[in-house]
Structure 1
Amino acid sequence: MTVGRLAHSPAAADHTESVARPRPTDAASAAVWDLAATVVDPEVPVLTIADLGILREASVSGGSVLVSITPTYSGCPAVEAIRDDIVTVLAAAGYSDVAVRVVLSPAWTTDWMSADGKRKLEEFGIAPPTGTRPAGPVSLGLGVRCPHCGSLHTRQLSRFGSTSCKALYACQRCQEPFDFFKDH
């Protein structure tokens, strides 16, 4: 098994791409995509890599499998675990020649998250990205809805929450702290 190569794919050079790539249409690649899509994010275990939109490509050529992922940010510490989990899932399904490529361009954006993924975040107690940066000073947290009570009266406690892709907020109504998955 070939595990992990950091790469910039030629197709990724087009920075106008604004949505995650769709599931492949050929049966062999679609089967690989479906298996890879079951891998959960180790930092937010209620989301799959498909929910997050970091699953970018799955293809089969001869006996070789290529899966491409784009991390939520270039220094994401979960990349190695995700890569290993993809290889493990595919190996368990009988694929022996698996390469997982990390593609950094175009950079991941929260726009690639699925609506289902955003719903799962909120149900888990993490405010999902809003699609826009919060209005007003970041310290006021205007526009970040509390996932516990729905209030917009929240404030940022720290630019970083339990992971670097989240910020720590507190609700001024229900007094509960919560993570906000930052818009990227």
Structure 2
Amino acid sequence: MTVSTTTAVDRAALQDKAFAVARTVTDPEMPMLTLEDLGVLRAVEVDERGHVIVSITPTYTGCPAMATMRDDLVRSLQDAGLPGATVRVSLTPAWSSDWITERGRRSLAEHGLSAPGRAPARNGPVALSLMPTRREIACPRCGSAHTELTSEFGPTACKALYRCTSCLEPFEHVKEI
């Protein structure tokens, strides 16, 4: 029994098609962002048999959205005529909120969420603190820097809840990681 192989030209065309599909899949927790804009879509490859392999990186260990991201990617690829895709989780390098694209940051702001600032530079182990993190952020609605933390944990572990003391509107802030 022989295994059918695809040519490099065929693989490149399949890879382009698969990437074009994968880059449109949205995050289940923040649907205004594609997985590409969020920075979790790491790679799309096609093996010698024409099998699509997509690599994604979780925003943090234990992220409950990973299963939905995988299912949405597989379904979208299948709907585009690319059945049997495999989605791999890549833990290295670890995701950083710095990977959110500029388009993604604008989209967050347009939807009333505060985009993360630059992730803190770290060397070696990361100290665990149970105290709230001090952040200098602006209200995504009115732009005021007069904001206060109401909860370090929002509807998802990767967001914190804030309130603007100028316009009095509550908003979510995507945490720097």
Q: TM-score range by the shorter chain?
A: 0.7 to 0.9
SS of the aligned residue for 2:139 comes to coil
Q: Percent identity?
A: 47
- In structure 1, the partner of 2:118 is 131
Distance 1:44 1:140 in 2: 22
Write out the 4+ residue segments of structure 1 that deviate beyond 6 Å after TM superposition.
Answer: none
Residue in structure 2 matching 1:174, options 136, 148, 167 = 167
TM-score by length of structure 2 reads: 0.83
1:23-172 alignment runs, 5 A limit: 26-61=12-47, 62-132=49-119, 142-172=135-165
SS at match of 1:120: helix
User: C-alpha separation between the residues in 1 aligned to 2:99 and 2:119?
Assistant: 13
Q: 1:146, 1:178 within 8 Å by CA — same for their partners in 2?
A: yes
Return the TM-score normalized by structure 1: 0.80
**Bigger radius of gyration, 1 or 2?**
2
2:149 aligned counterpart, secondary structure: strand
CA-atom RMSD, angstroms? 1.6
Q: Secondary structure at the match of 1:97?
A: coil
| Structure 2 SS opposite 1:40 | coil
Give the number of aligned pairs: 155
